[in-house]
Amino acid sequence: MSVLVDAETRVVVQGITGHQGTNHTRAMREFGTKVVAGVTPGKGGSVVEGVPVFDTVREAVAEVGANAACCFVPAPYAKDALLEAVDAGVRLSVLVTEHIPFHDMLVMYHYARSKGTRIIGPNCPGIASPGRSKVGIIPNTVFRPGRVGVISRSGTLTYEIVNGIKEHGLGQSTCIGLGGDPIVGTSFVDALPLFENDPDTDLMVLVGEIGGTAEEDAAELIRRGFSKPVVAYIAGRSAPPGKRMGHAGAIISRGRGTADSKVQALERAGARVAKFPYEVSEIVAEISRGLARR
Amino acid sequence: MVKLTEGRGKELFRKYGVPVPKGAIARSPEEAERVLRSGAVPCPCVVKAQVLAGGRGKGGAVRFASTPEEGKAAAAAILGSTFQEETVREVLLEEKVAIARELYVSIALDRTARLPVLMTSARGGVEVESVPDEEIERQPVEPFPGLAAYERRRASRSLGLAGALVGELDRLLSSLYQLFDHEDAELVEINPLAVVGERLVALDAKVIIEDDASFRHPEYATLRDDRTPLEELAREKEIAFVQLDGNIGVIANGAGLTMATLDVLKEFGGAPGVFLDLGGTDDPKKVTEAFLLMAQARPRAVFLNIFGGVTRCDTVANGLVAALGTVPPADRFPLVARIRGNHEEEGLAILRAAGITSVPDLRASVQAVVAAAKEW
């Protein structure tokens, strides 16, 4: 078993004829993902990387059975692309696209939710289960199959941390890059229960950063009862307190959102919080050894 | 993010039908006097510095005038002065109104609920952070129906409004939500919203527009004036570049890794002076441009921390070597590199050939750059 993606995942790549879409279609296929279709309006009938291209997502679903979408469509058109994919009935949409206005994401998120489609992203690397499947742009080389679940708001930092875990001889069950935008389709509290129920995951790594209260919300979920050990890292401890949302933002977050607030909430909930990125893999290795002895 | 000055925010308020006092912008004391003499803005009036920082009232950046001459003198005192590092170039002249009560209204994004939230409080005119939670009414707004009539009525109740003021607030909130939605705002805030007889009047306006929506709002592009010249140059090249107070330059890729690098650097006694996020580039030219920008910022030492995921280490190495060849001798700086990940071996070989060593351990590389900045 794995989380959200497996051998049954059949991906349609939206924006497949673009530079990014084409390159990552190749990388996904090399990873073992079943990329069954691409969509670029007006380019239907062509073939990219051995994948048939359709004009609409509906055709990709009807003709080759796509059930997940991976979106590389530029920000001004991303909302329409997502609505189309949801409407065509895909169950999972990974939005790699960055710079989508949050006013668009408000509509995209609530529409997808009302139709039962899960969004990962936007502005995210996507999801990978090493040895099984990936949807998105997570690099093929840094992963190895294993029993550590990883959820993260950042991209490169996650690869760095995952690489460290690999150097300790350990691997990942599933890794989800949630994206760092103000509104994300799947947040820590949405992702954690998926791993709780995954028999292939023994422990969790949570990589957060300053801003918003997603980490505090995750801490609350862990405190209420999450059965697997959690190792966390929060980036941005040295950043000056942000004034991004001004006074109204301050009364929404009420003193939460800082690195200190997140670290304290997670520690109170029983998570081990690493001070530096390289400490994550050291703590993970220590916990793994403990689990193996049991 | 584009923060609008009060004057620009109120122009938007007027456009959407949110009531504001009679007002006009002046850029010189003479212009202020002219406007007041013409009666376009009646005296007595308020003269307010158009700066983005808060706390203007206490800081002397808001003054009252009962005649055009006094208005001219107030404008002369404010224009050209510096308020929290901003030079005042404009004043807003506004009629003085008879305030019966001061309320608070805002619409912002609640990231956790993934919904806009309408916040109202009967305790306006003070810093809203100081108002207890239970005295602020919060209503999440579903984006499909938008801000509904019943939600606007509920706001009226929470503010204790009655009679004609209920209809006034209903119209005002409709307009304000429309502005929030159509202008791609992150925040619209009115504090205070004044009760003046049977009317409501927005005495202040805080509007923040989201950057990511700039493709449909080119009109805000000219208002980004809070960047340094180098930051502006970087923005044109689509490189995230921020100047800080320290002396060490940091180049990393990805926001998370960049922040983590700064954290480790500070922990080991370094002071980041500039940071530059390459993002997910696969173009050596962009790497070269990033380095040349960094050189212009005159750091004491530079730390390059790259983890190649999508970005390839050899691409970064090639861009780096090309850049170092074009940096004038006077602008050269000690460099500590750490490149890991995708095509690491090829990248390391390119660096070795150019006489640059990569320190694979993050701790050791950070200590090396902190030492280099001290020695230089």
A251 and A150 in a common domain = yes
Asked if the model's pLDDT at residue A242 lies above 70, the reply is: no
Spelled out in words, what is the top-level CATH class assigned to the domain B229-375?
alpha beta
Residue A245's pLDDT band (cuts 50, 70, 90): very low
Give me A205's structure tokens: 């790594």
How far apart, in whole angstroms, are the C-alpha atoms of residue A106 and residue B144? 9
Tally of CB atoms within 10 A around B351: 23
Q: Is A276 exposed, middle or buried (0-12, 13-18, 19+ CB in 10 A)?
A: middle
The parent domain of residue A244 ranges over 141-293
Residue A246's pLDDT band (cuts 50, 70, 90): low
- Residue A113 is assigned to a structural domain of this protein: yes
- Say if residues A109 and A83 touch (Cβ distance below 8 Å): no
A110 and A162 in a common domain = no
- Non-local (6+) Cβ contacts of A108 within 8 A are A78, A79, A82, A83, A100, A119, A185
Q: Distance of CA A70 to CAs A111, A126, B58, Å? A: 17, 9, 53
Average pLDDT, integer, range A55-73 = 98
What amino acid is encoded at B5 in this protein?
A: T
Average pLDDT, integer, range A241-257 = 63
A113 and A162 in a common domain = no
For residue B240, the model assigns a pLDDT of 82
Decide which of B176 and B326 is more confident: B176
Query: Closest partner residue to B362 among A105, A158, A277, by Cβ?
Result: A277
Asked if the model's pLDDT at residue A199 lies above 80, the reply is: yes
Query: Closest partner residue to B1 among A157, A212, A244, by Cβ?
Result: A244
The three-state secondary structure class of A199 is: coil
Which chain A residues have a beta carbon less than 8 Å from that of B131? Answer: 251
Closest C-alpha among B365, B373, B12, B369 to residue B187 = B12
A156 and A107 in a common domain = no
Average pLDDT, integer, range B194-218 = 94
What amino acid is encoded at B337 in this protein?
A: A
Query: Closest partner residue to B342 among A139, A236, A277, by Cβ?
Result: A139
Residues A213, B255: C-beta atoms closer than 8 Å: no
Cα of A294 to nearest chain B Cα, Å: 32
A104 and A19 in a common domain = yes
Asked if the model's pLDDT at residue B166 lies above 90, the reply is: yes
For residue B376, the model assigns a pLDDT of 62
How far apart, in whole angstroms, are the C-alpha atoms of residue A53 and residue A42? 10
Closest C-alpha among A282, A244, A235, A87 to residue B277 = A235
Asked if the model's pLDDT at residue A243 lies above 50, the reply is: no
Cα of A45 to nearest chain B Cα, Å: 29
Average pLDDT, integer, range A50-56 = 97
Region of A65 on the Ramachandran plot (φ > 0 left; ψ -120 to 50 alpha; else beta): left
DSSP-derived secondary structure letter, B358: B
Residue A257's pLDDT band (cuts 50, 70, 90): confident
Q: Edge to edge, what strands does the sheet with A172-177 contain? A: A133-136, A126-129, A172-177, A145-152, A203-209, A230-235, A272-274
- Say if residues A261 and B345 touch (Cβ distance below 8 Å): no
Residues A180, B266: C-beta atoms closer than 8 Å: no
Decide which of A268 and B242 is more confident: A268
pLDDT digits (tens, 9 = 90+) for B299-351: 999 999 999 888 889 999 998 898 888 887 777 888 999 999 888 999 999 99
Instruction: Mutate one of A98, A99, A157 to test the B interface: name it (highest B CB count within 10 A).
Output: A157
For residue B195, the model assigns a pLDDT of 98
The reply to whether B85 touches chain A by the CB within 8 Å rule is no
Asked if the model's pLDDT at residue B225 lies above 60, the reply is: no
For residue B226, the model assigns a pLDDT of 61
What does A230-260 look like in DSSP terms, one character per residue?
Answer: EEEEEE-TTSPPP-TTHHHHHHHHTT-SSHH
Asked if the model's pLDDT at residue B86 lies above 90, the reply is: no
What does B199-265 look like in DSSP terms, one character per residue?
Answer: EEEE---EEEE-GGGGGT-GGGGGG--SS-HHHHHHHHTT-EEEE-SSSEEEEESSHHHHHHHHHHH
Q: What is the mean pLDDT of chain B?
A: 91
How far apart, in whole angstroms, are the C-alpha atoms of residue A168 and residue A288? 10
Instruction: Mutate one of A165, A184, A210, A238 to test the B interface: name it (highest B CB count within 10 A).
Output: A238
Question: Per-domain residue ranges for chain B?
Answer: 22-95, 101-219, 229-375
Choose the weakest-confidence range: A277-291, B220-234, B285-299.
Answer: B220-234
How far apart, in whole angstroms, are the C-alpha atoms of residue A262 and residue A256? 7
For residue A220, the model assigns a pLDDT of 97
Residues 125-164 of chain B with CB under 8 A from chain A are: 127-129, 131, 133, 136, 142-144
As for how many domains chain A has, the answer is: 2
For residue A244, the model assigns a pLDDT of 45
Residues A251, B213: C-beta atoms closer than 8 Å: no
Asked if the model's pLDDT at residue B58 lies above 90, the reply is: no
Instruction: Mutate one of B141, B216, B310, B339 to test the A interface: name it (highest A CB count within 10 A).
Output: B310
For residue B53, the model assigns a pLDDT of 83
Average pLDDT, integer, range B276-287 = 80
A187 and A45 in a common domain = no
CATH of the domain at A219: 3.40.50.261
Q: Please give the residue of chain A at the shortest CA–CA distance from B277.
A: A156
For residue B355, the model assigns a pLDDT of 87
For residue A241, the model assigns a pLDDT of 59
How far apart, in whole angstroms, are the C-alpha atoms of residue B6 and residue A247? 15
Task: State whether the Cα torsion B106-B111-B116-B119 is positive or negative.
Answer: negative
A201 and A112 in a common domain = no
The pairing of beta strand A34-39 with beta strand A10-14:
parallel
Asked if the model's pLDDT at residue B227 lies above 90, the reply is: no
Q: Which of the listed ranges B72-86, B116-130, B166-180, B348-362 does the model predict with the highest average pLDDT?
A: B166-180
Assess if CATH 3.40.50.300 describes domain B22-95.
no
The three-state secondary structure class of B185 is: strand
Of 3.65.10.10, 3.30.470.20, 3.30.420.40, 1.20.1440.230, which CATH number belongs to B101-219? 3.30.470.20
What amino acid is encoded at A130 in this protein?
A: P
DSSP-derived secondary structure letter, B330: G
A289 and A151 in a common domain = yes
Which of A88, A120, A152 lies at the terminal end of a domain, its last residue?
A120
Residues A213, B280: C-beta atoms closer than 8 Å: no
Q: Which helix (H) or strand (E) holds A102?
A: helix A102-114
Q: Looking up tokens 């390459």, which residue turns up?
A: B278
Our answer to whether residue B177 is catalytic in this structure is no
Residue A153's pLDDT band (cuts 50, 70, 90): very high
- The ipTM assigned to this model is 0.90
- Non-local (6+) Cβ contacts of B148 within 8 A are none
Residues 164-223 of chain B with CB under 8 A from chain A are: 181, 184, 186-187, 189, 191, 206, 208, 210-213, 215-216
A280 and A145 in a common domain = yes
Asked if the model's pLDDT at residue B175 lies above 90, the reply is: yes
CATH of the domain at A85: 3.40.50.720
Decide which of B277 and A57 is more confident: A57
| Residue from B189, B231, B289, B344 carrying the catalytic annotation | B189
For residue A247, the model assigns a pLDDT of 63
Count of H-run helices and E-run strands, chain B: 11, 18
Average pLDDT, integer, range A29-55 = 97
How far apart, in whole angstroms, are the C-alpha atoms of residue A93 and residue A13? 10
For residue B60, the model assigns a pLDDT of 87
How far apart, in whole angstroms, are the C-alpha atoms of residue A151 and residue A168? 19
Asked if the model's pLDDT at residue B215 lies above 70, the reply is: yes
- Residue A267 is assigned to a structural domain of this protein: yes
Burial pattern A66-94, b for ≥16 Cβ within 10 A else e, equals bbbbbbbbbbeebbebbbbbbebebebbb
